[in-house]
Structure 1
Amino acid sequence: MTTASQNRQSTDLIDVLAAEHREVEGLFAELEARFGASGPEVEDIAQRVVTRLVQHSVAEEVHLYPLVREVLDDGDALAEREIAEHDAAERTMKRLEALPARSADFWMTYRILTNLIAQHVGEEEQYLFPRLAAAVAKEDREQIGDRILSTEKTAPTRPHPASPSEGGALAALAPGAGLVDRLRDALTGRGR
């Protein structure tokens, strides 16, 4: 599957993450167009949403939030809030994965997830990204953007709510979990 992150010109971390936000919004729009429907197409789109959100979240937790802690005066509090939002979204994604698209609970859980992600994206783009643009040199943002893209290539494709939520421990575990997820995806046909 080719993603927007693989087709992008800019590697500035802000541009990379904002483009991924647009990609996920596009996937949500595909699901919204089928609201209340069921079947393999709906489940496939839902799985693509979960995969992209998990990969994006891992990259943010490994690279973005440690940077936020380092360069912003209130970085610890901001990073903790963002990570708490990721944790809530990951638990919701885990519930969504377990539900058949034909159930009302699937669509209610989908709605909860879209609200969580919309709030998170809004906070990052309106509040966090402008502050990082002012605090971090463009060259440094581009290097971190490159690392984000690299991390996403080996990141898990499924939610793992019990895994570490930030930094080195997550960076060490993510490639192994990602490999296991991709093998499972290939065996179940999910990795199409």
Structure 2
Amino acid sequence: MDGLDLLIADHNRVRGLFARFRQAHEDEDTPAMGELAGKIFEELEVHTAIEEEIFYPAVHDLSDELAEVVDEGVQEHHVVDVLVAEARELTPGDAAWVAKVSVLIENVEHHAEEEETELFPPVRSATDAATREDWGARFEAMKAQRGAPTSADAAELTTEELRQRARDQQIPGRSTMTREDLIATVDPR
């Protein structure tokens, strides 16, 4: 699958986790908040590694403008890493923990939106499909190496099971997703 599409699928999967976290917070369901935060942290750790180790180095030299966006992305990842590390040291449900996770979510939402609007379109224009497919294969391999769910794991589910998981995971845009999009986006666990 196209690497940019996989990165967008990662963004959508974590947006679903954010929505579920916010609902758990509204419901004052501390155990669910803690479980969802753990999933968010895991998703972000794998995603930032993929971007920093594979995607950003490949994109950095395409143009000066893209290099600036990549450099900013690296700094945003640093903020994410710090917030995750600090949140892991706090007790789920404490006011400071909720504030830390909320700031993390806001930062990641900004980062994902910026990538999807400022970085991905020019990268798509500057690269060919074979390059992006290669990135996708490398991204999936890194996920598998780190024990994260891959598209291959989700491909074993029926389309209806994929749609149900997308609903349960509150994946944005799920009603218009193709089976391939669902496979890339849902967490099959």
- Specify which of 4, 14, 34 is matched with residue 24 of structure 1: 14
Q: Provide the rounded CA distance (Å) in 2 between the counterparts of 1:66 and 1:130.
A: 17
Letter in 2 for 1:133: R
1:66 partnered with 2:57: yes
- Would the aligned equivalents of 2:24 and 2:33 in 1 still touch at CA under 8 Å? yes
Number of the residue aligned with 1:47? 38
Q: What is the correspondence of 1:29-178 to structure 2 with a 5 Å cutoff?
A: 29-35=19-25, 37-155=28-146
Number of the residue aligned with 1:189? none
What's the CA shift for 1:57?
0.5
What's the CA shift for 1:74?
2.7
- How many pairs align? 148
What's the CA shift for 1:68?
1.4
- Determine what percentage of the aligned residue pairs are the same residue: 26
Q: CA RMSD in A?
A: 1.8
Q: Provide the rounded CA distance (Å) in 2 between the counterparts of 1:77 and 1:39.
A: 39
- Would the aligned equivalents of 1:55 and 1:156 in 2 still touch at CA under 8 Å? no
Q: Provide the rounded CA distance (Å) in 2 between the counterparts of 1:156 and 1:58.
A: 13
Q: Provide the rounded CA distance (Å) in 2 between the counterparts of 1:108 and 1:21.
A: 21
Structure 1 residues 156, 104: CA separation in 2 closer, same or farther (over 3 Å shift)?
farther
Q: Structure 2, unaligned stretches of length 5 or more?
A: 149-188
What's the CA shift for 1:102?
2.2
Letter in 1 for 2:13: E
Normalised TM-score (structure 1): 0.72
Q: Provide the rounded CA distance (Å) in 2 between the counterparts of 1:107 and 1:156.
A: 27
What's the CA shift for 1:40?
2.9
Q: Structure 1, unaligned stretches of length 5 or more?
A: 1-10, 158-191
- Would the aligned equivalents of 2:33 and 2:93 in 1 still touch at CA under 8 Å? no
Number of the residue aligned with 1:14? 4
Structure 1 residues 126, 75: CA separation in 2 closer, same or farther (over 3 Å shift)?
closer
Number of the residue aligned with 2:169? none
Letter in 2 for 1:12: D
